[in-house]
């Protein structure tokens, strides 16, 4: 549903901050979203869940929530479940889509069940798993805590000692740890907005992979949009993104990340149901290529909360 009048949205809480490892990124996204909404005359205000209990949203007579809360507590179904109980519409995926999307392991299991390509992996539960994992998958590998975003806790490893150390470090995040086959090739991301795929972006970094530093601090990370693929291949990637997002129960908006190997096979890595939303983040970059400026993008995302409310 398209909204022409900002009053249609009512009072909007931009939920941000929180207590996850992605707190600072969330605050940056939330502040950018809030500024955009206020510039569009939406009655919006900031709401940091680390400072205010969610039930205050009812006391404040909030009509809907723009969710800019990254990581655990905001992107994993917890916030979504609480808002459902409070009967407050919100942007983005629901409880199931958020929970599955945040969990890299369960995402891969769902895609595997749908015969969609994702890099081979092993769950690392105990020290005895290291040798069998190395024997089965070989090196290099990428180690990932299953429930963290922004590449937090991830590491590339090339031998057994590095694998053990990376597993020990990733285990500190109190979730499943997976070792994933290293895919040699180019990394792409496709943003989804209201069921449509935006132009694909190709990422390049001199780092071993697109890690936290490369995402938020490095001046050497490069983004290509147009992505350099021919139109047929990009369209294929965009459709795969839509399918992968919907299989996990994603709705409203989000982002799907891929590796494209040297044979041009696309491997699904993960989805992001609350992507970064600063003016230099990936979704705004793709939207700009599609002719949608940042303020219009934020407005369009907020419109998805009306569609969610209607359903």
Catalytic residues: 22, 150, 216, 255, 257, 270, 272, 276
Nearest in space to 179 (alpha carbons), one of 259, 108, 253, 282: 108
CA distance 275 to 254: 6
Query: What kind and span of H or E run contains 290?
Result: none
What the block records as the tokens of 26 is 């969330």
DSSP 223-259: EESS-SS-HHHHHHHHHHHHHHHHHTT--SEEEEEEE
Helices then strands, counting H and E runs in the chain, come out as: 11, 13
Does 226 sit behind a cis peptide bond, omega within 30 degrees of 0 on the bond before it? yes
Tokens 């940056």 belong to residue: 28
Under 8 Å between Cβ of 305 and 288? no
Alpha helices in the chain (DSSP H): 23-39, 56-59, 78-86, 95-102, 104-113, 129-137, 160-170, 212-216, 231-247, 282-289, 294-310
Query: Cα-Cα-Cα-Cα dihedral of 135, 269, 102, 206, to 10°?
Result: 90
Under 8 Å between Cβ of 155 and 112? no
CA distance 262 to 248: 27
CA distance 73 to 76: 6
């Amino acid at each position: 549903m398209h909204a022409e009048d900002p009053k249609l949205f009512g009072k909007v809480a931009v939920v941000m901050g929180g207590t996850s490892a992605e707190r600072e990124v969330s605050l940056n996204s939330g502040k950018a979203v809030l500024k955009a909404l206020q510039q569009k005359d939406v009655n919006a205000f900031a709401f940091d869940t680390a400072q205010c209990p969610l039930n205050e949203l009812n006391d404040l007579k909030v009509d809907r929530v723009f969710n800019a809360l990254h990581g655990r507590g905001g992107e994993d179904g917890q916030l979504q479940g609480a808002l459902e109980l409070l009967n407050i519409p919100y942007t983005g995926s629901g409880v199931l889509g958020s929970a599955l999307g945040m969990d890299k392991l369960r995402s891969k299991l769902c895609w595997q069940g749908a015969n969609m390509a994702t890099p081979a992996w092993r769950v690392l539960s105990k020290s005895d798993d290291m040798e069998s994992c190395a024997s089965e998958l070989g090196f290099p590998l990428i180690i990932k805590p299953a429930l963290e975003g922004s590449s937090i806790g991830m590491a590339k490893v090339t031998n057994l000692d590095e694998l053990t150390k990376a597993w020990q470090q990733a285990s500190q995040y109190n979730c499943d740890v997976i070792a994933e086959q290293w895919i040699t090739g180019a990394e792409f991301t496709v943003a989804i907005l209201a069921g449509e795929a935006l132009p694909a972006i190709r990422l390049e970094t001199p780092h071993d992979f697109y890690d936290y530093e490369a995402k938020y601090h490095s001046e050497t990370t490069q983004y290509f949009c147009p992505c350099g693929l021919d139109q047929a291949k990009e369209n294929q990637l965009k459709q795969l993104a839509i399918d992968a997002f919907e299989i996990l129960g994603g709705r409203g908006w989000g982002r799907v990340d891929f590796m494209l190997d040297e044979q041009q096979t696309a491997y699904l890595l993960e989805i992001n149901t609350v992507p970064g939303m600063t003016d230099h983040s990936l979704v705004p970059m793709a939207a700009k290529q599609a002719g949608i400026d940042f303020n219009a993008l934020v407005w369009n995302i907020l419109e998805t909360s009306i569609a969610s409310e209607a359903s």
